[in-house]
Amino acid sequence: METTSEEISNVSLLKDVEYLTTILDEVLLHEGGETLLNVVKEIRVLSKEVRETHDENTQEKIKLKISELEPGIRQKVIRAFSMHLHILNIAEQNYRTRRRREYQSQDANIIQPGSLEAGVKQLMDNNVSPDQITDLLSKLSLELIMTAHPTEATRRTILQIHKRIAQLLTSLDYSYTRYEKKLIKERISNEITIMWQTEEIRQNKPSVMKEVSNGLYYFDRILFDVLPKIHDDLEDLLFENYNQRWTIPSFLRFGSWIGGDRDGNPNVKATTTFDTLKHHRELVLRKYKEAISTLKDRLSHSDSKVDFSEEIRASIEKDRQELNEIGWYKEDEVYRVKLSLMLKKLDYTEQDDPRGYEKSEELLADLQLIRESMMIHHPNHNPVKLLRKVIRQVDLFGFHLASLDVRNHSGEHESALTEIFHKVGIADEYKSLDEKEKVSTLISVLENPRPLISIYDEFSPETSEVIDTIRVIKRAQDTFGLRAIEVYLISMTDNVSDILEVLVLAKEAGLYRVYPNGKVVSRLHVAPLLETIDDLKNGPEMIKQLFEIPLYRKHLEARGDLQEIMLGYSDSSKDGGNITANWELYKAQQDIHAMASDYGVKLKYFHGRGGSLGRGGGPLYTSLLSQPAITLGDGVKITEQGEVLSSRYLLEDIAYRSLEQATSTLLTGIMGLNDDNTKMQPSQEEVDTMSMISEYALKKYQSLVFEDPGFIQYFNQATPLHELGDLNIGSRPMKRKGSNHFEDLRAIPWVFAWTQSRQLLPAWFAAGTGFKKYLEKTDNLEQLQKMYSKWPFFQAIINNLQMALTKADLQTAKEYANMMEDKEISDRIFGQLAEEYEETKAIVLKITGQEELLDNRLNIKESVRLRNPLVDPLNLLQVQLISQLRNEGEESEKYDELLTEALLTINGVAAGLRNTG
| pLDDT for position 499 | 98
Examine the pLDDT at 750 and tell me if it is beyond 80. yes
| pLDDT for position 1 | 39
| pLDDT for position 533 | 92
| pLDDT for position 152 | 56
Q: How confident is the model at residue 109 (pLDDT cuts 50, 70, 90)?
A: confident
- pLDDT average, residue stretch 6-20: 80
- pLDDT average, residue stretch 713-718: 95
**CA 102/CA 12 separation, integer angstroms:** 12
- The closest of 19, 86, 43 to 912, measured between CA atoms, is 86
% of the chain exceeding 70 in pLDDT:
94
∠ CA 644-650-654, nearest 5°, is 85
Q: 3-state class of 889 per DSSP?
A: coil
Higher pLDDT, 681 or 247: 247
pTM of the model: 0.91
Eight-class DSSP state of 651: S
803 Cβ partners below 8 Å, 6+ apart? 613, 618, 763, 854, 857, 860
317 Cβ partners below 8 Å, 6+ apart? none
| pLDDT for position 12 | 86
**CA 540/CA 608 separation, integer angstroms:** 18
Examine the pLDDT at 678 and tell me if it is beyond 50. no
Report yes or no: 564 and 527 within 8 Å, Cβ to Cβ: yes
Examine the pLDDT at 388 and tell me if it is beyond 90. yes
Enumerate the β-bridge partners of residue 160. Answer: none
| pLDDT for position 676 | 45
- pLDDT average, residue stretch 148-162: 74
Report yes or no: 274 and 472 within 8 Å, Cβ to Cβ: yes
The dihedral built from the CA positions of residue 864, 870, 871 and 875, taken in this order, carries a sign that is positive
- pLDDT average, residue stretch 87-91: 93
Burial 451-487 (b: 16+ CB within 10 A, else e): ebbeeeeeeeeebebbbbbbbbbbbbbebbbebbbbb
Examine the pLDDT at 614 and tell me if it is beyond 60. no
Query: Chain-wide mean pLDDT for the chain?
Result: 91
Report yes or no: 277 and 480 within 8 Å, Cβ to Cβ: yes
Q: Tens of pLDDT along 440-495? A: 999 999 999 888 988 778 999 999 999 999 999 999 999 999 999 999 999 999 99
Q: 3-state class of 36 per DSSP?
A: helix
Report yes or no: 917 and 151 within 8 Å, Cβ to Cβ: yes
| pLDDT for position 150 | 52
| pLDDT for position 917 | 42
Q: How confident is the model at residue 430 (pLDDT cuts 50, 70, 90)?
A: very high
Examine the pLDDT at 149 and tell me if it is beyond 70. no
**CA 606/CA 592 separation, integer angstroms:** 13
Instruction: DSSP for 207-259, please give it.
Output: PHHHHHHHHHHHIIIIIHHHHHHHHHHHHHHHHHHHS--------EEEEE-TT
- The closest of 723, 728, 729 to 757, measured between CA atoms, is 723
| pLDDT for position 677 | 42
Q: How confident is the model at residue 891 (pLDDT cuts 50, 70, 90)?
A: confident
- pLDDT average, residue stretch 559-564: 96
| Number of helices followed by number of strands (H, E) in the chain | 37, 10
| pLDDT for position 338 | 97
Listed range (7-21, 322-336, 871-885) with the worst mean pLDDT: 7-21
**CA 904/CA 893 separation, integer angstroms:** 19
The distance of Cα 854 from the centroid of its chain, to the nearest Å, equals 24
Q: How confident is the model at residue 157 (pLDDT cuts 50, 70, 90)?
A: confident
Enumerate the β-bridge partners of residue 529. Answer: 566
97 Cβ partners below 8 Å, 6+ apart? 170, 651, 653, 654, 657
Query: How far, in Å, are 71, 771, 839 from residue 847 at the CA level?
Result: 48, 10, 12
Q: How confident is the model at residue 889 (pLDDT cuts 50, 70, 90)?
A: confident
| pLDDT for position 455 | 77
The distance of Cα 816 from the centroid of its chain, to the nearest Å, equals 30
Instruction: Catalogue the active-site residues.
Output: 149, 574
Strand 520-522 and strand 525-530: the pairing is unpaired
Strand 252-256 and strand 142-147: the pairing is parallel
Backbone torsion region of residue 608, taken as left when φ is above 0, otherwise alpha when ψ lies between -120 and 50, otherwise beta: beta
| pLDDT for position 4 | 46
| pLDDT for position 700 | 97
Q: How confident is the model at residue 9 (pLDDT cuts 50, 70, 90)?
A: low
| pLDDT for position 736 | 52
